[in-house]
Amino acid sequence: MKHRTLGNRLDVSALGLGCMSMSALYGPPADRQQMVQLIRAAHERGVTLFDTAESYGPFTNEDLLGEALQPIRDQVVIATKFGFDIDLQSGERRGGTNSRPEHIKAAVEGCLKRLRTDRIDLLYQHRVDPAVPIEEVAGAVKDLIAEGKVQHFGLSEAGVQTIRRAHAVQPLTAVQSEYSLFWRGPEQELLPVLLELGIGFVPFSPLGAGFLTGKIDEHTQFDPTDFRNHVPRFSPEARKANAALVDVVTAVAQRKGATPAQVALAWLLAQHPWIVPIPGTTKLHRLEENLGAADLALSAADLAQIEEQVAKVQVRGERLPAAALQMTGL
Protein backbone atom coordinates (compact mmCIF):
# COMPACT_ATOMS: atom_id res chain seq x y z
CA MET A 1 0.00 0.00 0.00
CA LYS A 2 1.30 3.43 -0.96
CA HIS A 3 1.39 6.14 1.70
CA ARG A 4 0.48 9.82 1.72
CA THR A 5 1.03 12.71 4.12
CA LEU A 6 -1.76 14.76 5.66
CA GLY A 7 -0.89 18.31 6.55
CA ASN A 8 2.83 17.78 5.93
CA ARG A 9 3.00 15.88 9.20
CA LEU A 10 0.83 12.75 9.44
CA ASP A 11 1.83 9.67 7.43
CA VAL A 12 -1.08 7.38 6.47
CA SER A 13 -1.99 4.77 3.87
CA ALA A 14 -3.21 6.25 0.58
CA LEU A 15 -6.63 4.79 1.31
CA GLY A 16 -8.13 4.64 4.78
CA LEU A 17 -11.12 2.71 6.08
CA GLY A 18 -14.31 4.47 7.08
CA CYS A 19 -15.92 2.36 9.80
CA MET A 20 -19.29 4.09 10.26
CA SER A 21 -21.31 1.65 8.16
CA MET A 22 -20.28 -1.22 10.43
CA SER A 23 -22.42 0.23 13.22
CA ALA A 24 -24.83 2.84 11.91
CA LEU A 25 -26.82 4.56 9.16
CA TYR A 26 -26.52 1.97 6.38
CA GLY A 27 -28.99 -0.43 7.95
CA PRO A 28 -28.68 -2.69 11.02
CA PRO A 29 -25.23 -3.02 12.63
CA ALA A 30 -23.07 -5.76 11.16
CA ASP A 31 -21.86 -8.72 13.21
CA ARG A 32 -19.32 -7.37 15.66
CA GLN A 33 -16.75 -10.15 15.47
CA GLN A 34 -16.90 -10.22 11.70
CA MET A 35 -16.19 -6.48 11.70
CA VAL A 36 -13.27 -6.94 14.11
CA GLN A 37 -11.82 -9.40 11.63
CA LEU A 38 -12.50 -7.07 8.70
CA ILE A 39 -10.72 -4.17 10.39
CA ARG A 40 -7.72 -6.37 11.11
CA ALA A 41 -7.80 -7.68 7.53
CA ALA A 42 -7.63 -4.09 6.31
CA HIS A 43 -4.49 -3.51 8.36
CA GLU A 44 -2.96 -6.74 7.07
CA ARG A 45 -3.49 -5.35 3.56
CA GLY A 46 -1.71 -2.10 4.36
CA VAL A 47 -4.41 0.23 5.68
CA THR A 48 -3.19 2.41 8.54
CA LEU A 49 -5.91 5.11 8.78
CA PHE A 50 -9.16 4.10 10.49
CA ASP A 51 -12.03 6.59 10.82
CA THR A 52 -14.79 6.59 13.42
CA ALA A 53 -16.78 9.03 15.61
CA GLU A 54 -18.45 9.11 19.00
CA SER A 55 -21.79 9.66 17.24
CA TYR A 56 -21.65 6.41 15.26
CA GLY A 57 -23.94 4.30 17.36
CA PRO A 58 -23.49 6.47 19.41
CA PHE A 59 -20.34 5.05 21.00
CA THR A 60 -20.58 1.52 19.58
CA ASN A 61 -18.36 2.12 16.56
CA GLU A 62 -15.53 3.51 18.67
CA ASP A 63 -15.85 0.53 20.99
CA LEU A 64 -15.67 -1.83 18.01
CA LEU A 65 -12.60 -0.08 16.64
CA GLY A 66 -10.95 -0.12 20.06
CA GLU A 67 -11.31 -3.89 20.31
CA ALA A 68 -10.12 -4.49 16.76
CA LEU A 69 -7.06 -2.25 16.88
CA GLN A 70 -5.89 -2.81 20.45
CA PRO A 71 -3.33 -5.53 19.48
CA ILE A 72 -1.86 -3.29 16.74
CA ARG A 73 -2.46 0.13 18.29
CA ASP A 74 1.02 1.50 17.61
CA GLN A 75 0.87 0.50 13.93
CA VAL A 76 -2.26 2.50 13.04
CA VAL A 77 -3.69 6.01 12.94
CA ILE A 78 -7.07 6.39 14.66
CA ALA A 79 -9.30 9.30 13.69
CA THR A 80 -12.44 10.10 15.65
CA LYS A 81 -14.80 13.05 16.05
CA PHE A 82 -16.64 15.09 18.68
CA GLY A 83 -19.22 17.80 18.28
CA PHE A 84 -22.78 16.48 18.39
CA ASP A 85 -24.83 16.97 21.53
CA ILE A 86 -24.62 13.52 23.07
CA ASP A 87 -25.20 12.65 26.73
CA LEU A 88 -21.77 11.36 27.71
CA GLN A 89 -23.19 8.91 30.24
CA SER A 90 -26.16 7.37 28.43
CA GLY A 91 -25.09 7.96 24.84
CA GLU A 92 -28.46 9.58 24.12
CA ARG A 93 -28.34 11.81 21.05
CA ARG A 94 -30.06 15.04 22.06
CA GLY A 95 -29.93 16.70 18.66
CA GLY A 96 -27.86 19.63 17.52
CA THR A 97 -24.21 20.35 18.23
CA ASN A 98 -22.13 20.84 21.36
CA SER A 99 -18.54 22.03 21.11
CA ARG A 100 -18.24 23.86 24.40
CA PRO A 101 -14.64 23.40 25.55
CA GLU A 102 -15.62 21.56 28.73
CA HIS A 103 -17.82 19.19 26.72
CA ILE A 104 -15.03 18.52 24.21
CA LYS A 105 -12.60 17.59 26.96
CA ALA A 106 -15.11 15.32 28.68
CA ALA A 107 -16.07 13.72 25.37
CA VAL A 108 -12.44 12.95 24.59
CA GLU A 109 -12.08 11.05 27.87
CA GLY A 110 -14.90 8.78 26.74
CA CYS A 111 -13.37 8.37 23.29
CA LEU A 112 -10.05 7.32 24.81
CA LYS A 113 -11.71 4.66 26.96
CA ARG A 114 -13.78 3.21 24.14
CA LEU A 115 -10.81 3.21 21.76
CA ARG A 116 -8.63 1.56 24.43
CA THR A 117 -5.82 4.02 23.89
CA ASP A 118 -3.98 6.85 25.60
CA ARG A 119 -4.10 9.23 22.61
CA ILE A 120 -6.22 10.07 19.59
CA ASP A 121 -4.09 10.47 16.48
CA LEU A 122 -6.52 12.74 14.61
CA LEU A 123 -9.43 14.47 16.34
CA TYR A 124 -12.06 16.19 14.21
CA GLN A 125 -14.83 18.55 15.13
CA HIS A 126 -17.69 16.63 13.48
CA ARG A 127 -19.82 19.67 12.66
CA VAL A 128 -19.22 23.35 13.34
CA ASP A 129 -21.14 24.59 16.40
CA PRO A 130 -22.70 27.99 15.65
CA ALA A 131 -22.95 28.70 19.38
CA VAL A 132 -19.22 28.36 20.10
CA PRO A 133 -16.52 30.44 18.37
CA ILE A 134 -14.19 28.17 16.43
CA GLU A 135 -11.23 29.81 18.21
CA GLU A 136 -12.50 28.34 21.50
CA VAL A 137 -12.86 24.92 19.92
CA ALA A 138 -9.34 25.09 18.50
CA GLY A 139 -8.05 26.27 21.86
CA ALA A 140 -9.62 23.30 23.64
CA VAL A 141 -8.04 20.88 21.18
CA LYS A 142 -4.73 22.71 21.52
CA ASP A 143 -4.91 22.05 25.28
CA LEU A 144 -5.56 18.35 24.61
CA ILE A 145 -2.58 18.22 22.27
CA ALA A 146 -0.41 19.80 24.95
CA GLU A 147 -1.58 17.11 27.38
CA GLY A 148 -0.67 14.37 24.89
CA LYS A 149 -4.24 13.09 24.60
CA VAL A 150 -4.56 14.25 20.99
CA GLN A 151 -1.92 14.33 18.26
CA HIS A 152 -3.57 16.18 15.37
CA PHE A 153 -6.58 18.47 14.84
CA GLY A 154 -9.14 18.32 12.04
CA LEU A 155 -12.50 19.75 10.98
CA SER A 156 -15.37 18.03 9.20
CA GLU A 157 -17.75 19.76 6.76
CA ALA A 158 -16.43 23.22 7.70
CA GLY A 159 -16.43 26.32 5.52
CA VAL A 160 -13.23 28.01 4.39
CA GLN A 161 -13.41 30.97 6.77
CA THR A 162 -13.93 28.65 9.72
CA ILE A 163 -10.93 26.63 8.56
CA ARG A 164 -8.75 29.73 8.37
CA ARG A 165 -9.76 30.89 11.85
CA ALA A 166 -9.21 27.47 13.43
CA HIS A 167 -5.89 26.99 11.67
CA ALA A 168 -4.62 30.29 13.09
CA VAL A 169 -5.12 28.98 16.65
CA GLN A 170 -4.13 25.32 16.21
CA PRO A 171 -2.77 24.16 12.84
CA LEU A 172 -5.09 21.73 11.13
CA THR A 173 -3.72 18.47 9.82
CA ALA A 174 -6.82 17.44 7.87
CA VAL A 175 -10.27 18.51 6.79
CA GLN A 176 -12.94 15.92 6.06
CA SER A 177 -15.90 16.44 3.75
CA GLU A 178 -17.87 14.55 1.16
CA TYR A 179 -16.15 14.49 -2.24
CA SER A 180 -16.46 12.23 -5.26
CA LEU A 181 -17.53 12.32 -8.88
CA PHE A 182 -21.04 12.22 -7.39
CA TRP A 183 -20.49 15.52 -5.54
CA ARG A 184 -17.67 17.89 -6.46
CA GLY A 185 -18.53 20.88 -4.28
CA PRO A 186 -15.12 21.02 -2.51
CA GLU A 187 -13.42 21.95 -5.79
CA GLN A 188 -14.89 25.44 -5.78
CA GLU A 189 -13.41 26.93 -2.61
CA LEU A 190 -12.28 24.25 -0.20
CA LEU A 191 -9.49 22.51 -2.10
CA PRO A 192 -7.70 25.75 -3.09
CA VAL A 193 -7.66 26.87 0.56
CA LEU A 194 -6.36 23.51 1.78
CA LEU A 195 -3.59 23.67 -0.83
CA GLU A 196 -2.71 27.20 0.29
CA LEU A 197 -2.59 26.29 3.98
CA GLY A 198 -0.95 22.88 3.60
CA ILE A 199 -3.88 20.94 5.09
CA GLY A 200 -4.68 17.37 4.02
CA PHE A 201 -8.10 16.35 2.72
CA VAL A 202 -9.98 13.18 3.70
CA PRO A 203 -13.04 12.62 1.49
CA PHE A 204 -15.83 10.58 3.00
CA SER A 205 -18.44 8.91 0.76
CA PRO A 206 -15.77 8.72 -1.99
CA LEU A 207 -18.01 6.25 -3.81
CA GLY A 208 -21.10 8.41 -3.50
CA ALA A 209 -22.54 6.30 -0.66
CA GLY A 210 -22.15 3.26 -2.89
CA PHE A 211 -23.71 4.71 -6.03
CA LEU A 212 -20.47 4.84 -8.03
CA THR A 213 -19.91 1.10 -7.58
CA GLY A 214 -22.56 0.49 -10.23
CA LYS A 215 -24.40 -1.86 -7.87
CA ILE A 216 -27.29 0.54 -7.19
CA ASP A 217 -30.06 1.50 -9.63
CA GLU A 218 -33.58 2.92 -9.47
CA HIS A 219 -34.94 -0.49 -8.45
CA THR A 220 -32.61 -1.00 -5.47
CA GLN A 221 -34.46 -1.37 -2.16
CA PHE A 222 -32.61 -0.10 0.92
CA ASP A 223 -33.18 -1.36 4.45
CA PRO A 224 -35.81 0.77 6.24
CA THR A 225 -33.11 2.08 8.62
CA ASP A 226 -30.73 3.08 5.80
CA PHE A 227 -30.19 6.85 5.71
CA ARG A 228 -30.20 6.84 1.90
CA ASN A 229 -33.99 6.46 2.01
CA HIS A 230 -34.08 10.13 3.09
CA VAL A 231 -31.47 11.53 0.70
CA PRO A 232 -32.90 13.38 -2.34
CA ARG A 233 -30.04 12.15 -4.55
CA PHE A 234 -31.15 8.57 -3.82
CA SER A 235 -34.78 8.89 -4.82
CA PRO A 236 -35.63 6.36 -7.53
CA GLU A 237 -36.04 9.16 -10.07
CA ALA A 238 -32.68 10.70 -9.21
CA ARG A 239 -30.95 7.32 -9.30
CA LYS A 240 -32.30 6.68 -12.77
CA ALA A 241 -31.08 10.06 -14.01
CA ASN A 242 -27.72 9.82 -12.24
CA ALA A 243 -26.94 6.43 -13.77
CA ALA A 244 -25.27 8.38 -16.58
CA LEU A 245 -22.48 9.18 -14.13
CA VAL A 246 -21.90 5.50 -13.43
CA ASP A 247 -21.74 4.88 -17.17
CA VAL A 248 -18.73 7.20 -17.36
CA VAL A 249 -16.64 5.33 -14.79
CA THR A 250 -17.84 1.98 -16.11
CA ALA A 251 -16.55 2.76 -19.59
CA VAL A 252 -13.11 3.65 -18.22
CA ALA A 253 -13.14 0.59 -15.93
CA GLN A 254 -13.83 -1.76 -18.83
CA ARG A 255 -10.93 -0.32 -20.80
CA LYS A 256 -8.56 -0.51 -17.80
CA GLY A 257 -9.57 -3.97 -16.62
CA ALA A 258 -10.80 -2.46 -13.35
CA THR A 259 -14.13 -1.91 -11.60
CA PRO A 260 -16.20 1.30 -11.50
CA ALA A 261 -15.40 1.69 -7.80
CA GLN A 262 -11.68 1.44 -8.45
CA VAL A 263 -11.87 4.07 -11.19
CA ALA A 264 -13.88 6.43 -8.94
CA LEU A 265 -11.33 6.08 -6.13
CA ALA A 266 -8.34 6.34 -8.47
CA TRP A 267 -9.84 9.55 -9.88
CA LEU A 268 -9.91 11.02 -6.37
CA LEU A 269 -6.33 9.96 -5.67
CA ALA A 270 -5.25 11.63 -8.92
CA GLN A 271 -6.66 15.03 -7.94
CA HIS A 272 -4.01 15.89 -5.33
CA PRO A 273 -1.25 13.93 -3.52
CA TRP A 274 -2.65 15.07 -0.15
CA ILE A 275 -6.09 13.51 -0.65
CA VAL A 276 -6.78 10.31 1.33
CA PRO A 277 -10.24 8.80 0.69
CA ILE A 278 -11.88 6.64 3.36
CA PRO A 279 -14.32 4.26 1.63
CA GLY A 280 -16.31 2.12 4.02
CA THR A 281 -17.56 -1.42 3.67
CA THR A 282 -18.70 -4.43 5.70
CA LYS A 283 -17.49 -7.01 3.14
CA LEU A 284 -13.97 -8.36 2.64
CA HIS A 285 -14.27 -8.60 -1.15
CA ARG A 286 -15.34 -4.96 -1.33
CA LEU A 287 -12.43 -3.97 0.90
CA GLU A 288 -10.01 -5.73 -1.41
CA GLU A 289 -11.65 -4.19 -4.47
CA ASN A 290 -11.39 -0.69 -3.00
CA LEU A 291 -7.76 -1.11 -2.00
CA GLY A 292 -6.96 -2.12 -5.57
CA ALA A 293 -7.61 1.49 -6.56
CA ALA A 294 -4.31 2.53 -4.98
CA ASP A 295 -2.48 0.67 -7.72
CA LEU A 296 -4.70 1.81 -10.59
CA ALA A 297 -2.94 4.50 -12.62
CA LEU A 298 -5.21 6.79 -14.60
CA SER A 299 -3.42 8.48 -17.49
CA ALA A 300 -3.90 12.10 -18.49
CA ALA A 301 -6.08 10.81 -21.32
CA ASP A 302 -8.19 8.78 -18.87
CA LEU A 303 -8.68 11.80 -16.62
CA ALA A 304 -9.51 14.04 -19.57
CA GLN A 305 -12.09 11.54 -20.80
CA ILE A 306 -13.71 11.36 -17.36
CA GLU A 307 -13.76 15.16 -17.11
CA GLU A 308 -15.27 15.59 -20.56
CA GLN A 309 -17.97 12.98 -20.06
CA VAL A 310 -18.88 13.95 -16.49
CA ALA A 311 -19.34 17.56 -17.61
CA LYS A 312 -22.25 16.37 -19.75
CA VAL A 313 -24.08 14.83 -16.77
CA GLN A 314 -26.40 16.98 -14.67
CA VAL A 315 -26.51 15.18 -11.32
CA ARG A 316 -29.98 15.31 -9.80
CA GLY A 317 -30.86 15.70 -6.12
CA GLU A 318 -29.22 17.22 -3.05
CA ARG A 319 -26.51 15.15 -1.38
CA LEU A 320 -28.15 15.34 2.07
CA PRO A 321 -31.60 16.06 3.53
CA ALA A 322 -32.26 19.77 4.08
CA ALA A 323 -31.75 19.65 7.87
CA ALA A 324 -28.37 17.93 7.50
CA LEU A 325 -27.25 20.38 4.79
CA GLN A 326 -27.85 23.27 7.19
CA MET A 327 -25.21 21.82 9.51
CA THR A 328 -22.48 21.91 6.86
CA GLY A 329 -20.27 24.78 5.79
CA LEU A 330 -20.14 23.78 2.14
Active site residues: 56
Q: What is the DSSP letter of 280?
A: B
Please report how many Cα atoms fall inside a 13 Å half-sphere around the Cα of residue 21, on the Cβ side: 20
**Reduced 3-state DSSP string for 103-171:** HHHHHHHHHHHHHCCCCEEEEEECCCCCCCCHHHHHHHHHHHHHCCCEEEEEEECCCHHHHHHHHHHCC
Query: What's the rounded Cα separation, in Å, for the pair 261 and 253?
Result: 9
Nearest to 18 by CA among 280, 211, 290: 280
Cis before 71? omega within 30: no
Please report how many Cα atoms fall inside a 13 Å half-sphere around the Cα of residue 138, on the Cβ side: 17
Query: What is the 3-state composition of the chain as percent helix, strand, coil, each rounded to the nearest 5?
Result: 45, 20, 35
SS3 326: coil
* Vertex 12 angle, CA 8 and 18, to 5°: 125
Spacing of C-alpha 25 from chain mean position? 14
